[in-house]
Structures are given as structure tokens and as C-alpha cells.
Amino acid sequence: MRQVHAIGASGENAQFHQDLIEDRQKQALATHKKQKDAERKKQQEIDQLIAVGLIVDCTAVKHMTAPQLNNQLKIHKQFFKDNVLAKVKQKDMKTKPLKLQALLVFPGPVRSGYGVSSNPNQDQDRLA
């Protein structure tokens, strides 16, 4: 009888609480890892866009490929916080002419001749 009591309710309860604590620790570590991965991915995307740089020459913009136009649109959305472009989803602009039109109509750096300096540190400060 004593052995049943030792293994019984209080022993099972203690084991349940220990398992619960271990499970919550695993969940917390997994959540923390997901957050760190998301932050790292976002920083990599920002670094990639900074490396691409802003193109302000209209003729150069007109001769860009669709992926290059995508990068320019991302730069406009993320760094210049344009309200009009923010409302338009990238998937809605599937064709190159639509992307090109969005960039050329955008009343920002491409249209106003926004100068880009030759010093990359100044560009990063301005775009960040």
C-alpha cells in the first residue's frame, strides 16, 4: 500500500508538472528561434536592397528587367514609405509594364531627380 501511495497521485502530479515545464521551455526556445530567424531574414533583405541601390535615371529604369523593377519597388515601399505603393500589392503588378508605370508615376526619387551620392555610407544612412 505504501508503494502505491508513493507512486500514486502525488508522484504522478509531480511528473506531470515536470513534463509541463520541459514542454513550455521547448516551446519558448522554438518561439525565440523563429523570432531570431525572422529578424535575420528581414535584415538580409534590407542589406540586399541597400546593395542593389536606388536607380534614379529614368532611361536606366526603363531598360530594367522585371526582377530589377521588383527590387526598385521594394526600395520605394520600404525606405520611402510611399502610401500609394504601400496599398498596391506586388502580386497585383504581374507584368513589367505595370511595374515600370508604377515606378515612373511614383512622385519620388526617380521623377524628382533625387541624387544618389557616391559615398555608400551616406546612402545607407539616408535609406535606413
Residue with the bigger pLDDT between 15 and 25: it is 25
Task: Tell the residue number behind the cell numbers 528587367, with chain if given.
Answer: 65
Full-model pTM: 0.54
* Residues 36-61: tens digit of each pLDDT: 999 999 899 888 888 887 877 788 88
pLDDT of res. 62: 85
The identity of residue 32, as a single letter, is H
As a whole number, the mean pLDDT across the chain is 76
Sign of CA dihedral 60, 61, 66, 67: positive
CB neighbour burial string for 112-126, b if at least 16 within 10 angstroms, e if fewer: eeeebeeeeeeeeee
Residue with the bigger pLDDT between 92 and 106: it is 92
